[in-house]
Chains A and B, each alone.
Chain A
Amino acid sequence: MDVLLVEDDTLLSAQLASSLDGFGHRVTVVGDGQAALATVAQTSFDAIVLDRMLPVVDGLSVLARLRQQGISCPIILLTALGRLAEKVEGLDGGADEYLVKPVDPIELNARLSAARRGREWAAPQKDTITVGDIVVSPASHRAWRAGEAIDLSKVEFGILTELARNAGAVVTREMLYERLWGPEFVPTTNLAEAHMRRLRQKLTAGGRNDPILTVRGVGYKIKE
């Protein structure tokens, strides 16, 4: 992906840029809002990572202007403050994601992919998602594997749906918690693992292969 990184802290931007580079993205770095607007006017990007607190023109204003100009690529806001009101403000302003610093590069990478997929998925052709031999129907809260209905709990169903929506990309634990229980939810136990274990048991019943990969220390991915 061609990513524009707008961040005024040079050390942080260097770190993030090098990490994103490591994930195979082409990163352009600018240090303030004015420069960001000027750069976007000349070049098109697949995604923009935007710090909320920027010199000259702040992140929220940059976001608003980009959306006014009809720039529809995914935009991820970064902030040092994690208050819910600010988060809502950012998302209402047209951001796809709102991440609190420090951002784990792996998490940022996962969110970038998810945001892009989210935009592609925005107008689904059908009300079901199909990944390999797995079919998920978010509308009827049902799932099938190889044509056989699987009896899932609400949480397990939620996890499977998120994985299926982001098939082929990593879904981090934070993303799961956010999607299932809201942007503020913070557990202190290994919630995701406990439910994932049960989901896997149900998906692999009858000796079927495990469709879910665990990306250590990051999250999970369903094979496309």
Chain B
Amino acid sequence: MKTKVILPQSLRTLTLLFLLMFLAVIMATGVTSYIATHATVAALVDQRLATISDALISDGQGGLQGVTARVVDASNQRDTADLGYILRGPGGKLLFGNVRLMRTPPAGFSSLDRSAGIAGLTHGRAFVRELGGGASLTTIGETEPIDNYNDARLAIYLLGYGSIVLIVLGGVAAFSLTIGRRISALNTTAMAIINGDLARRVPEGGSRSEFDRQARTFNSMLDRITALMEEIGNVTGDIAHDLRTPLARLRGQLMALQATAIEPVTTRGIRDAIEQCDNILAMFSAILRIGEIEAGNRRAGFALVALADVVAEVADMLAPVAADQGQTLVAQAEPGIEIAGDQALLVQLIVNLVENAIRHTPRGTAIYLSLRRGGGDAIITVQDNGPGIAADRRALALRRFGRIDKARDGGGHGLGLPLAVAISTLHHGSLSLSDAAPGLLVTVKLPLG
């Protein structure tokens, strides 16, 4: 069974999520270790205060005087002189004190800070032991042996963890930038291939890195596809060539026969046969031509083409043909629309669309050819008010040899529209058929660049 795990999909979200989690963890670690060190130091100081306090009291040996003597002694000893001592006798009378406190802390352990009023003490611990009858011994130790030690420690923490955060941030940024760049290089190449530039390859470095290995694998895949495409092209070319030669002979023989034929029936029969030969040959030419255009090499020769001129040329060319068929051809072109393209092929594209309308519609049909700008595209439409093509058969009309109605066909080899599609695609454009209610509307969209 496939389990569904919802994970963020984009590289950016993943990176941000990782960074947030990383920051949360690093802050938690920092705060925890800061607090823990603090607590450890306090515990060690407490332990020392308790031990020394025990030794000074020594279960009350020598009475209060004995304790006093030991406290005085301790306050003079090098290893215990850093502590503060306040010894109070019965009734709280001060017997000895090397420090002064603003207020007496409660019995047991407590924390002290600057407010305790001891000079040089910023943070410390106090341990108060009741000795009975109001007498008490207070020992005081610093938890911050050096002034502003805690502030310095905080700064060290911030610097340490901060640099870790910075390094990780930089690393992640570099990482996601590298991956992002590689992915977009792959994308650009794939898009170029889709648009017919089969020679395009992903840039690859000579290293053994995963990226370069992936680029190399991707490029070998493309090489293989190109080789296959070329093979297909060669096979098509070979078939067309190999069939052309025998057809050429057949046509030659028919021509020779025609020259010697006497019976009109035979002459007509031979003429029809020659015509059939010519149709097959025209079909081969069209197949080869579509293949040539689909290969995309023609883009190399693209130049700026003024589309209004192309439309005007086609209208001049075909208006008399339409008129002879009792049809009208009207052209309307928005001036100043230019695209990078192959002028001869663009003429052929529009000729094919208009000829298609002329051949497939009855007398009295009005054909409109128009050129306008729309949404970043040059939009060329050929519309007629003839019988149109049923919605479910339109896709068939764009396919090679997808002739809709062979009986009604007014000539041609059924490759006029597929050739128009190939030319549109060569110009990064599209061709679509729709209902002009009544009639057929062919729309060609060619991006302006």
Contacts and interface: CB of A to CB of B under 8 A. Distances in A.
B212 to A, nearest CB: 35
A102 B247 contact: yes
Contacts of A191: 317-318, 321
A15 B259 CA distance: 12
B237 A185 contact: no
A11 B277 CA distance: 17
A179 interface: no
A174 B318 CA distance: 17
A155 B277 CA distance: 30
B253 interface: yes
Interface residues of B, number: 44
Nearest to A184: B344
B210 to A, nearest CB: 40
Contact of B245 (A9, A16, A182): A9
A153 interface: yes
Nearest to A196: B320
A64 B285 CA distance: 27
B289 interface: yes
A187 B317 CA distance: 10
A55 interface: no
A81 B237 contact: yes
B411 interface: yes
A184 B321 contact: no
Contacts of B237: 81
Contact of B244 (A80, A104, A155): A80
Residue among B252, B281, B355, B358 with most chain A CB within 10 A: B252
Contact of B241 (A18, A19, A81, A185): A81
A185 B348 contact: yes
A18 B256 contact: yes
A213 B323 CA distance: 23
Nearest to A153: B316
Nearest to A100: B285
Nearest to A190: B321
B256 A195 contact: no
A155 B416 CA distance: 22
Nearest to B250: A102
B182 interface: no
B384 to A, nearest CB: 14
B230 interface: no
B320 A187 contact: no
A194 B252 contact: no
B207 to A, nearest CB: 38
B359 interface: yes
A18 B313 CA distance: 41
Contacts of A193: 324
Interface band, chain A: 35 or more
A77 B275 CA distance: 24
B255 A19 contact: yes
Interface in B283-299: 285-286, 288-289, 292, 297
B249 A15 contact: yes
B321 A154 contact: no
B348 A184 contact: yes
A105 B344 contact: no
Contact of B359 (A19, A22, A188): A188
Contacts of A41: none
Interface in B215-264: 237, 240-241, 244-245, 247-249, 251-253, 255-256, 259
A146 interface: no
Interface string A89-122: 0000000000011111100000000000000000
B316 A101 contact: no
Given A154-B316, A194-B320, A194-B324, A12 B248 contact: yes
A82 B351 contact: no
Contact of B358 (A12, A189, A197): A189
Contacts of A182: 344, 347
A19 B241 CA distance: 23
Given A15-B256, A191-B317, 8 more contacts: A19-B252, A81-B288, A83-B288, A83-B292, A84-B292, A102-B248, A182-B347, A194-B320
Interface of B: 237, 240-241, 244-245, 247-249, 251-253, 255-256, 259, 277, 281-282, 285-286, 288-289, 292, 297, 313, 316-318, 320-321, 323-324, 344-345, 347-348, 351-352, 355, 358-359, 411-413, 416
13 contacts: A9-B245, A12-B252, A182-B344, A185-B347, A187-B351, A187-B355, A189-B321, A189-B359, A189-B411, A194-B320, A194-B321, A197-B320, A198-B320
Interface of A: 9, 11-12, 15-16, 18-19, 22, 80-85, 100-105, 153-155, 181-182, 184-191, 193-195, 197-198
Q: Return the 9 tightest CB-CB contacts between A and B, nearest first.
A: A102-B248, A15-B252, A188-B412, A194-B320, A194-B321, A182-B344, A80-B241, A102-B251, A101-B248
